[in-house]
Every structure is written in structure tokens, then in C-alpha cells.
Amino acid sequence: MFCIVAFVVLAILGIFSASNRALAREAVDCVFRRVTFRPCNTGFDEKMKARILGVVITRSEGGARFLNKNFELLSWLFFILLTASSIWAIRGVYLFYVSGSCNGLNSTSFCVFDPTGSNNQVSALNATCKAKPTTEKDLTLKPVDLSTFPVKNRASHDQIVMIGCYGCAYTRETYPVIENLVSRFGAQLTFLDIPVKTKTNYLTKVGYCLYRQDPTAYWKLNDILFKADETVFETEPFVRQTLTSLGVDADKTLACVADPTTEAAVEKQKAQIVATEVYGTPTIFINGQASVGPKPYRVYAIMLKGLFYWLR
């Protein structure tokens, strides 16, 4: 198996050295003959063995004897290590492509392709102390009556539920990606607003009232809020001006916002969202599978339609 390991090493070194390219060609021939259960006819393995022993013996005669005696065994050991590391590397590339992390969906372990962990960053909710930290395995939609929240494309079999905050930078990054996915595949989208980075639940109440007044205008308002200046988007003048630009009755909507029953309804919805065990925004459920943090578009598309559908 030495010739296989040597071929991989020499193929890499051959990029920078003509002499190593010649050795790599010999290694290819040797590999082909070994995999067909024939000895190398170029003497490549013996040639390389002699070179290695020549270097080792100048430093340690005992090491050279050990190497000479166990050369084939060590070759097998390096072959196994090379194979295992190659499989692990391929696995990491695959997982990064389909989940945004080398270690699988929602993993916060180090990934060489995402060294900053940008695909798993969230705005954390203020949580009470628990016996053990909440993880993505605890996330569930069972406590939520989704019929009370804004929904788009209600008839679709594919379901996306997004828990986010208008002031959360990661939600603001992710929302257009999800909207693009919904537009392309016609998936059902339910948006659950939970104020993590905003000062109050004012925008939540605005959305609650507007959706019941004009669902189409609500989704247009969502698009505006996720692009708006965060220093003013919670103010009544900005909201009034935006509602008017959408062609809705701003006075009617803001009267609803000031109604105590709206406050009670919004707090009830918030309690349902908290019961999902959400620990940060954005949290997105796609056909029941949860993902936490902003992911690349391809990851959401694969979660929604599967890898083979996405690649075709």
C-alpha cells in the first residue's frame, strides 16, 4: 500500500516539482498493478524504500532497521490513515454544503469552511436558568397555534415557520433569503415575531393589527421593516407614514395597537413562542426540521426539497 500513499503525496508535490511528477507517474503505474494484485514492474516501491532508508539511517540506525523490518506494515498504517482522513474530509465538505457546517446542521463546533461560525450566530433570548442548556433538539412547534400568526401561501404542503425579530441583524440577513425561497417554491410561510433586539413589542402589535386588517399589506410592511433604519422603525411617525404609503387606514391600525385586548393577544402569542424552547433568532422550521442561525440559501432549499431536487 506504500505506492498508494506515495502517489497521493507525490501528486501534490508534483505541482511544484518536475522530478516529483516523474515519480508520481511511476506511482500511478505501481498503484494500478497493486490494485490488480500484481507486483510493481518499475521497482518503484523498492526505489522509494531505499531513498527513505537512506535518509533515516543517517540519523538513526535503529530507526532504519525498524523501518526496514516493518515497511509493509507501516505502509498499510499510513494507507488506513490516509483513507480515513479522506473520508472525514469528504464528509465535512458534504455536511458544509447541505447544512452550512462541517459537523452537521446547527452544530457550533469549529468548521474550517466557516471559521467565524457565521452560519450559526443568533441573537439570544433572555432565558431563565435551566438544569441544562437548551439545544436545537429541544425546539418544537407543538405549543404553538400557528393559525393565530401571519401566514402566506396557506394551501402549500411545504411549511416554513420563521421565528425572528425586526431588530436582530441575523434575522434581517435571513428574512430575504427565506422570502426568495418562498417565492421560488411557493412554500407556506408563517412568521412569528418575538422582540429580542427591539425595545418593546410595539412592532409586534402593529403587525398583529395590520394582518387582521389587510394580510397583503402586512407582508409588504414586513419587507419594509426588515430594511428600515432601526433607529426610527419603532416610532409612531415612521409606522404611520409607512402604513399610509401602503394604502391602509393608519388611524384604524394604530387604534387597534392601543387597544388593551391587542396587548393581551400579543402576550399570549409570545408565551407560545417561548414555549417552543427557542433560544435565539432566527430560528426556522422547514417541514418540521429546525435550523438556528443564518444559513446559505442552498441549505434552506435542500431542507425544503432535498439534495437531489436542488441539484437537478
pLDDT tens digits for 245-282? 999 999 999 999 999 999 999 999 999 999 999 998 99
Q: How many helices (H) and strands (E) does the chain have?
A: 13, 7
- Model confidence over 143-163: pLDDT tens digits? 999 999 999 999 999 999 999
How far apart CA 194 and CA 127 sit, in angstroms, is 13
Q: Tell me what pLDDT residue 119 has.
A: 86
Q: Is the pLDDT of residue 130 over 60?
A: no
Domain boundaries of the chain, sorted by first residue: 2-99, 121-311
How far apart CA 300 and CA 289 sit, in angstroms, is 10
Q: Tell me what pLDDT residue 302 has.
A: 94
Least confident of 35-39, 167-171, 243-247: 35-39
Looking at domain 121-311, its CATH class is: alpha beta
How far apart CA 275 and CA 128 sit, in angstroms, is 12
Band the pLDDT of 68: cuts 50, 70, 90.
Answer: confident
How far apart CA 86 and CA 76 sit, in angstroms, is 15
> The whole model's pTM is what?
0.78
Q: Tell me what pLDDT residue 219 has.
A: 97
215-224: burial string, b at 16+ Cβ within 10 Å, e else: eebbbbbbee
CA distances from 86 to 58, 80, 83, 107 (A): 33, 10, 5, 21
Q: Is the pLDDT of residue 192 over 90?
A: yes
Least confident of 74-78, 235-239, 241-245, 261-265: 74-78
Least confident of 85-99, 167-181, 204-218: 85-99
